[in-house]
Amino acid sequence: MAAGIQPTLFFYNPNIHPYQEFLLRREGLRQLAAIRKLELIEAPGYPMEEFLASVAANPAGRCEFCYRNRLTQTALKAKELGFDLFGTTLLISPYQNRDRIIAIGRELAETHGLQFYDEDLRPGFRQSQAMAKELGLYRQKYCGCIYSEKERYYKD
């Protein structure tokens, strides 16, 4: 693993819609965890309604809310498990707002007495896609929320 880190995976994604997409992504992570022999912790339930209620009034702010919500839950889980460090796979995507993710991650790290792993993973993006294809893992086609699904498929 990078920098000698043995990651514990954490699946918390109330933003993913529809539910079948959520299941495909969760199963893909389960498969990867099994292949790589990594511990996987899954947050219980599917609180999509809470996510939608939080962004419905301000869909333009959905990414900010999503980053903060998911990183908060990750930081809390890291703290609960006694870890010193937490990070996110969002940092491999060239389509995400890296600067905003890092700012939120660092803020949460300070709040919770942790460190945020903010290595620039984007150079490995294409390689990670090729690896997923080679391993037969599900590869997502949009960010995950209903708004990004609309942006991907709805052409006015």
- Residue 3 falls inside a structural domain: no
Segment 5-18 mean pLDDT: 95
Is a pLDDT exceeding 80 seen at residue 1?
Answer: no
What is the predicted pLDDT for the residue at 97? 96
Query: Please, which residues bridge with residue 86 across strands?
Result: 116
- Residue 123 falls inside a structural domain: yes
User: Which residues touch 103 (CB under 8 Å, ≥6 apart)?
Assistant: none
pLDDT tens-digit series, residues 120-132? 989 989 999 999 9
- Residue 2 falls inside a structural domain: no
Segment 68-86 mean pLDDT: 97
- Residue 110 falls inside a structural domain: yes
SS3 assignment for 11-65: ECCCCCCCHHHHHHHHHHHHHHHHHHCCCEEECCCCCHHHHHHHHHCCHHHHHHH
- Residue 18 falls inside a structural domain: yes
Segment 105-114 mean pLDDT: 98
DSSP H or E segment with residue 125: helix 125-135
Is a pLDDT exceeding 80 seen at residue 87?
Answer: yes
Across the chain, what does the average pLDDT equal? 94
How many domains is the chain built from? 1
Query: Please, which residues bridge with residue 115 across strands?
Result: 85
- Residue 21 falls inside a structural domain: yes
DSSP H or E segment with residue 85: strand 85-86
- Residue 1 falls inside a structural domain: no
- Residue 74 falls inside a structural domain: yes
Domain with 39 in it: 8-153
